[in-house]
């Protein structure tokens, strides 16, 4: 049997965990949204795919091919 003080501490600990879990979910969603925004921003900066970029660079290095 728990004393009233231990019950209060246990309730406080449980409440903190629930809030922490919700906060972690919100942080994860924010991170995903930030990552998607970063990917979109990078796509705007790079006008071609990596394969197309490699072909262009290769053509400058080996123009005879």
Q: What global pTM score does this model have?
A: 0.39
pLDDT at 11 exceeding the cut of 80: no
Please report where in the chains the tokens 């660079």 appear, as a residue. 57
- Total number of residues shown for the chain: 65
Please tell me what DSSP assigns to residue 48.
S
| 21 compared with 3, residue with greater pLDDT | 3
Q: For residue 9, what are the CA distances in angstroms to 14, 24, 46? A: 9, 22, 54
The tens digit of pLDDT for each residue in 15-61 reads: 544 555 567 888 889 999 999 999 888 888 877 888 888 888 888 88
Q: What is the pLDDT of residue 48?
A: 81
Task: Give me the residue label for tokens 């006008």.
Answer: 47
Locate 36 and state its tokens: 């998607």
Q: Contact, 10 vs 2, CB < 8 A?
A: yes
């Amino acid at each position: 049997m728990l004393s009233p003080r231990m019950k209060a501490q246990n309730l406080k600990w449980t409440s903190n965990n629930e809030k922490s879990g919700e906060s972690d979910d919100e942080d994860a969603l924010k991170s995903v949204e930030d990552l998607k925004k970063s990917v979109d921003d990078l796509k705007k900066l790079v006008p071609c795919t990596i394969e197309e970029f490699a072909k262009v660079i290769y053509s400058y290095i080996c123009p005879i091919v």
